[in-house]
């Protein structure tokens, strides 16, 4: 597709209401950990807390953990060396941060459709980085794709994608469309060469079914960034934020436009 938009987890800033919001999130997080028994494993890594159990007779829903990290520079290792294979490193770091499992980047595998998995943790994964940010999505038991795009001027790419998506009268695609298409390719068997005929449903909060058996959703992160997710079955999404790669992951509250999802 073209290179590796609109609901709402917002990137928290320092101070003011944003600072109070982050503090409240951390307090709620600590309370949840005490109540459900989650927390740090023996390695000291803080792990994600499982969602409440589904109602009697209901199938438990998978959970997609989506971590957004700000990077002062392009991704580097702990010694400050720039990474040639940043995607593997970003996924491995996200697994350690959110699941408390340390896996070497070389232990990650890709299937025939180039979809990432982490066999040692029982997870599938997807990764994207754009400008000074990265995002990693992790889930167990189903596929996932994630993409991150900024608002660069790409008139020819947007015209081409609009035509591919069947938009009327030469209407260009949006950056949200762009990100959703990329996420869909990463989660599925689709490729640029087989994408003709795919149609994105009109935007609304939460997951939306496409005509190819996958679901997409998207979010405006602020700072000119659009994030999109795709998967093959409905899933709860937990949003996480890191102000830098060495900082703890902070859970973000459910965005207001997605509160009904």
> What whole-number distance in Å separates Cα of residue 19 and Cα of residue 249?
15
Which H or E run includes 63?
A: strand 62-70
Beta bridge partners of 241: 68, 250
Give domain status of residue 6, yes or no: no
At residue 117, the pLDDT reads: 97
Largest CA distance in the chain: 59
CB-CB contact of 188 with 165 (8 Å): no
At residue 27, the pLDDT reads: 40
Give domain status of residue 55, yes or no: no
Rounded to the nearest angstrom, the gap between the alpha carbon of residue 158 and the centroid of all alpha carbons in its chain is 22
Q: Which phi and psi (to 5°) does residue 156 adopt? A: -70, -40
> What 3-state class would DSSP assign to 26?
helix
pLDDT, averaged per 10 consecutive residues of the chain (261 residues), comes to: 40 44 39 34 43 51 93 64 76 97 96 95 95 93 95 86 87 92 93 84 93 93 89 95 90 49 32
At residue 53, the pLDDT reads: 44
Give domain status of residue 4, yes or no: no
Q: What is the pTM of this model?
A: 0.74
> What whole-number distance in Å separates Cα of residue 219 and Cα of residue 258?
9
Q: Which domain holds residue 101?
A: 16-49+62-253
Give domain status of residue 197, yes or no: yes
Rounded to the nearest angstrom, the gap between the alpha carbon of residue 52 and the centroid of all alpha carbons in its chain is 21
What is the total count of domains within the chain?
Answer: 1
Written as six digits, the tokens of 256 are 């207001």
At residue 95, the pLDDT reads: 98
Cα–Cα separations (whole angstroms), residue 190 to 24, 91, 231: 41, 22, 13
Give domain status of residue 150, yes or no: yes
Going by C-alpha positions, the residue among 62, 188, 178, 63 that lies closest to residue 115 is 188
At residue 142, the pLDDT reads: 97
> What whole-number distance in Å separates Cα of residue 98 and Cα of residue 138?
9
At residue 29, the pLDDT reads: 39
Give domain status of residue 41, yes or no: yes
Our separate counts of H helices and E strands in the chain read 4, 11
Give domain status of residue 21, yes or no: yes
Which H or E run includes 185?
A: helix 175-187
Give domain status of residue 110, yes or no: yes
């Amino acid at each position: 597709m073209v290179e590796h938009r609109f609901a709402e987890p917002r990137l928290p800033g320092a101070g003011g209401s944003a600072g109070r919001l982050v503090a409240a999130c951390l307090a709620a997080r600590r309370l949840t950990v005490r109540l459900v028994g989650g927390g740090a494993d023996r390695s000291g890594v803080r792990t994600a807390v499982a969602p409440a159990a589904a109602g009697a007779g209901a199938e438990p829903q998978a959970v997609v953990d989506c971590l957004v990290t700000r990077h002062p520079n392009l991704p580097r290792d702990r010694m400050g060396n720039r990474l040639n294979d940043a995607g593997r490193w970003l996924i491995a770091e996200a697994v350690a941060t959110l699941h408390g499992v340390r896996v070497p980047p070389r232990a990650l595998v890709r299937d025939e459709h180039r979809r990432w998995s982490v066999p040692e943790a029982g997870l599938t994964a997807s990764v994207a980085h754009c400008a000074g940010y990265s995002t990693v999505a992790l889930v167990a038991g189903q596929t996932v794709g994630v993409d991150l795009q900024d608002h660069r001027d790409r008139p020819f790419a947007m015209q081409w994608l609009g035509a591919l998506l069947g938009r009327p009268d030469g209407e260009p695609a949006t950056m949200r469309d762009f990100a959703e298409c990329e996420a869909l390719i990463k989660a599925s068997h689709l490729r640029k060469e087989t994408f003709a005929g795919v149609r994105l449903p009109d935007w609304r909060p939460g997951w939306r079914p496409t005509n190819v058996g996958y679901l997409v959703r998207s979010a405006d992160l602020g700072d000119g960034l659009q994030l999109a997710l795709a998967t093959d079955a409905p899933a709860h999404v937990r949003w996480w934020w890191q102000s830098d790669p060495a900082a703890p992951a902070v859970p973000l509250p459910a965005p207001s436009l997605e509160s009904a999802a």
